Amino acid sequence: MPDRQDLIARLRLVTGGNAPADAQPEPAVHPIRAEKFATPGTTAGLLPRDHLLQSIDPPGDIRLILIRAAAGFGKTTLLRQLRERCLANGQGVLWLTLDSADNDPRRLAAHLHAGLQALDGPSVADPLATPQALLQQLGRLQPGFTVVLDDFEVLDTPQALAFIQQLLAALAPGARLAIASRVNPELGLGRLRMQGQVLDIDTEALRLRPEQTRAYLRGRCQLPISDEQVTRLQDISEGWITGLFLATLSFNGRSAQADVIGSFSGSNQELAEYLTEDILARQSDEVRLFLLQTSILDRFCAPLCDALTQRRDSAGLIEQLLRANLFIQPTDPEQQWFRYHRLFSGFLRNALARQLPGHAEGLHRAASGWYLAHKHPAAAIEHLMRAGDIDQAAALLERHLDELVDAGRLRLMLRWLQQMPADALQGRPRLALTHAWLLVLDRRYRDAMQVVEGNPVSLETDTIRCLLLAFTDQPEAAVIAAQAQLARLSPSDNLQYGMVATPLAFCMITTGRYDDARKVLTDMARQAPQERSALVDGIAVYIESSLELTLGHRHAALARLEAASNVQAAVLEGRWVGAKATLDILHALVLYEGDELTQAWTMLNQIPQHALDLGGPDALIAHRVVLARIALQHGNREAWLRHLADLEQLGRRSGSLRILCAAWLERARVATLEGRLEVAAQALSSAELAGEWDRPDVLTFACDTDTPFIARQRLSIACGDCESAAAELRTRIEFSESRQQRRRTLKLRLLLAMALAGKGRQKLALDTLTPALRHASQEGFLRTFLEEGPALVKLLERWAVTYQASSSSLGIAPEFLADLLQRSGAQKEPAQGNESAQSDLQLTARELQVIRLLAAGHRNRAIAEQMHLSEHTVKTHLRNISAKLDAQGRTEAIAIARARGLLD
């Protein structure tokens, strides 16, 4: 790598020299330059920054308004709008645009003095006005008067900055100084800040918010631009108004806006010219070289920069960049790691390639070595890939494969493997296995099979064949293949063993072989914890919990998932790794079944898109369908439609008929409940075309109670064909009970009761409801009732009239039925918009149990023991109870609950 002096010499050849050496010194007498008092342009047509102006008004105790940010963030625009606001309010304003000659306090004082005199009326300016005379003049300013100093960064001498400090101290009470600067001025503002006399407006405050970007592009620029394109430009520009403006220049004469937005980067000609002339050319040779060298880093710290640049003073240079607001920002609270603005970074990388060709590869190798030495293999591999050292990257990836899988870097690994040519993977069967596995998780089944067929038959290729059978809804074939494959694998190969064992257990559950599935999971658990993959462990919990839900053990499933969630919170520290997304989706589904809609909605919406991208069909179906149903319950039909459209597209892209079918089934369900029976029949027909997976002996948790068969019986009942529906349902209930499919059996019983009622056999219908209510009251199933609409509600009301008095003897908690009917009544008129429905404010069955135990005198620990919960979970329930009852404490919560009839 060339040394620093050589590089600087090469840069000088490209960028040119600095200021001319023959610059003449300022004269002793300073002529007054009138143009310095001119406000640049008008604010007409500019984006108003009302929220920032509101933070400035009223003046109050503020003596200094400090606006500091990099070039192009709208500092001068904000000052102009502040000036106009002050004038409109009858407050005096003096505007002065600074230049480097103002580092002489006498020149600066002369201009300020002249400006203040001019505001008082026509007079002859005094070019020899002393700083002392000016300070006296400032002390006589009226309250609300504002002195505006633009381009403040040009003041860099101790004398000039000391004079500004004196100016601040001399300001009359109520007067203020407003300055805009690219750098953080060294004015010693600690005391003023402690006294609340400084208003800081920094880069974060100046960034355009998404709604402002939308208003700017559509209003100011008159661009017919979609919300998606606005979001894309917001992400690219990071709220930098000049970046947005330069992007809009690229639209001129071009109709393919999506292509323009997709290609807009630091290499854009207008942007490059702006950054070269207004930013890079102003920097010293040392700073310019440092910026170019460190631009290859997505984020950086001082030691890493030292390793790249062969310096020892990177910490000082980073501090200098921060003071200069050179498009740099910290990425951690301790401010040890930093990054450049995306557009600035892209510009610097292009400049590096142009001015120092071939230098980037060596920098990437140096970065890789530093990251590897500091035990960050993912970053080390990434820089080797960018350096073009594919063989070394493949070797490093193979060495750290298990570690990266456990860290959840699946999407990143898939990108690397797709970028590696086939010959780089030759002789690396574990990488080929991982590549195909990741393609399966990404629902690219055909691509995964091509990888398998492109490699010799081996243990690894047979493992992928097992996975493909499981993920493409061929459970019986998957069980046969996976059992044979598992016998050939060593448990010490924890990644590959887990790849086979977990889908094997899942497919055994799907085909009703619950004990065999538990044995597979138990055998996996016998491995030492340090030898097991965290991802595989998470999937095992997911499978065990889905089995509990299938068996109708909602409380047991919830307990497992809450325990896993507590472990994740302690270990993962907010990172979406392992099986966290899949576990949270199942957790949300179990909460949804208990009608805990707000908690379920929050949990699902916290999952980032990248964590959803690599998931099986069941997780995707449950995620989209539950979100859709909650949206519809809250009156947001547009969101319901959007979620189902997304689900349908996922099914088409992946070729998964079950995902496609799930979207049509939900449309058919809602149309049936709404009485749009012709629409429901059409939707069901589409679902059945993709429903070849629907068999009574095959069950998956996401489609457990939503199958073409169930949808067909619901529609038949709505159409009045109750006789045939009842016969079909009886046969299917008998089969489901024999296979312990209790969650499905519960749904089938509800439909059978409705069919019997439709035939006029009311007594038999109510008797059919009894075991369903018993199971639901014991396990807290609520939504499965509420999903069936008014017809079932009427039947429940008749059951209550007939059997309410004897509900306890029938094994049904009286409060459960009351709660269910109350929620049914609240559901008849869904809330509009995105606010929570009234039903969300009712206590859940578990919360009712907690408040009753509390009223009986039990403490948290005793409640936790009786309910088999953690004390932390009990406290969470108590907080939710107090919020729902609007109670200020436990005693008040008990009193309100008793007054509402919630306590016996």
pLDDT at 405 over 60: yes
Residue 538: closest CA among 568, 510, 504, 573: 568
Q: Tokens 């069941």 — which residue?
A: 618
Residue 633 pLDDT class (50, 70, 90 cuts): very high
pLDDT of residue 671: 96
Question: Do 138 and 173 meet the contact criterion of CB atoms below 8 Å apart?
Answer: no
Q: CB neighbours of 676 closer than 8 A, spacing ≥ 6?
A: none
CA 198 to chain centre: 34
- Of 76-90, 539-553, 569-583, least confident by mean pLDDT is 569-583
Q: What is the pLDDT of residue 132?
A: 78
- pLDDT tier at 15 (50, 70, 90 boundaries)? very low
Tell me the average pLDDT of the chain. Answer: 85
With 0.75 as the threshold, say if the pTM is over it: no
> 3-state DSSP call for residue 181?
strand
Between these two residues, 382 and 896, which has the higher pLDDT value? 382
Task: With cut-offs at 50, 70 and 90, classify the pLDDT of residue 789.
Answer: very high
Average pLDDT over residues 410-431: 89
If pLDDT is split at 50, 70 and 90, which confidence band does 570 have? very low
Is the pLDDT score of 609 beyond 90?
Answer: no
Amino acid 264: pLDDT? 64
442-456, 728-742, 862-876: which has the highest mean pLDDT? 728-742
Q: Nearest-CA neighbor of 350 among 8, 4, 14?
A: 14
**Among 124-128, 261-265, 407-411, 470-474, where is mean pLDDT lowest?**
124-128
Q: What pLDDT, on the 0 to 100 scale, is given for residue 300? A: 96
Bridge partners (DSSP) of residue 181 are 68
**pLDDT band at 833, cuts 50/70/90?**
very low
Contact (CB, 8 A) for 421 and 390: yes
Q: Where are the domains of the chain?
A: 34-206, 210-264, 265-357, 358-408, 611-826, 845-899
Look at residue 577 in the predicted model and tell me its pLDDT.
58
- Select from 420, 699, 402 the least CA-distant residue to 527: 402
pLDDT of residue 257: 56
List phi, psi (to 5°) of 23.
-60, 135
Asked whether the predicted pLDDT for residue 883 surpasses 90, the reply is: no
Residue partners of 429: CB distance under 8 A and separation at least 6: 455, 458, 459, 460
Q: Which two tokens stand for residue 612?
A: 């959803």
Q: Which of 173, 105, 178 is nearest to 139 (CA)?
A: 173
Between 573 and 533, the more confident residue is: 533
Examine the pLDDT at 644 and tell me if it is beyond 50.
Answer: yes
| Confidence tier at 613 by pLDDT (50, 70, 90) | low
Q: Which residue has the higher pLDDT, 425 or 418?
A: 418
Q: What percent of the chain has pLDDT over 90?
A: 46
Q: What does the alpha-carbon distance between residue 838 and residue 136 come to, in Å, rounded to a whole number?
A: 66
Average pLDDT over residues 391-417: 90
pLDDT of 5 > 60? The answer is: no
840 pLDDT above the threshold of 70: no
Q: Read off the pLDDT band of 123 (50, 70, 90).
A: very low
More confident residue, 891 or 730: 730
Residue 30 confidence (pLDDT)? 66
Number of alpha helices (DSSP H) and beta strands (DSSP E) in the chain: 49, 7
Tell me, what's the pLDDT at 578?
60
Instruction: Find, among 798, 779, 777, 766, the residue nearest to 749 by Cα.
Output: 766
How are the residues of the chain apportioned to helix, strand and coil, as percentages rounded to the nearest 5? Answer: 65, 5, 30
Query: How many of the other CB atoms lie within 10 Å of CB of 419?
Result: 11
pLDDT computed for residue 66 by the predictor: 95
Query: Could you tell me which residue, 547 or 570, shows the higher pLDDT?
Result: 547
Maximum separation of any 2 CA atoms in the chain, in Å: 109
- Of 695, 657, 743, 692, which is closest to residue 511 (Cα–Cα)? 695
Q: What are the residue ranges of helices labelled H in 407-458?
A: 410-419, 422-425, 429-441, 445-453
The H-or-E segment that residue 721 falls in is none
Q: What pLDDT is recorded for position 698? A: 84
11-25, 45-59, 708-722, 803-817: range with lowest mean pLDDT? 11-25
Superfamily of domain 611-826: Tetratricopeptide repeat domain (1.25.40.10)
Q: Is the CA virtual torsion 94, 97, 102, 103 positive or negative? A: positive
The top-level CATH class assigned to 845-899 is: mainly alpha
Q: What pLDDT does 699 receive?
A: 85
Sequence-ordered strand ranges (E) for 106-183? 146-150, 176-181
pLDDT digits 0-9 by tens, 17-39: 444 444 444 445 568 888 888 88
Comparing CA positions, the residue from 374, 516, 539, 350 lying closest to residue 441 is 539
Would you say residue 41 has pLDDT above 70?
Answer: no
Q: What's the fold here for domain 265-357?
A: Arc Repressor Mutant, subunit A (1.10.10)
- Strand-pair partners of 179: 66, 149
What are the tens digits of pLDDT across the range 575-597? 555 678 889 999 999 999 999 99
| CATH superfamily of this structure's domain 34-206 | P-loop containing nucleotide triphosphate hydrolases (3.40.50.300)
User: Do residues 515 and 547 make contact, with C-beta atoms less than 8 angstroms apart?
Assistant: no
- Where is average pLDDT lowest: 49-53, 298-302, 769-773, 831-835? 831-835
**Rounded mean pLDDT, 507-517:** 92
pLDDT at 11: 47
CB environment 235-263: b (16+ within 10 A), e (fewer):
ebbbbbbbbbbbbbebbeeeeebeebbee
Mean pLDDT of 451-478: 89
What is the band of 822 on the pLDDT scale with cuts at 50, 70, 90?
A: confident
DSSP 282-325: GS-HHHHHHHHHHTT-SSB-HHHHHHHHT-S-HHHHHHHHHHTT
DSSP string, 684-702: HHHHHHT-TT--TT---GG
- The whole-angstrom separation of Cα 672 and Cα 713 is 11
Q: Does 845-899 match 265-357 at the fold level?
A: yes
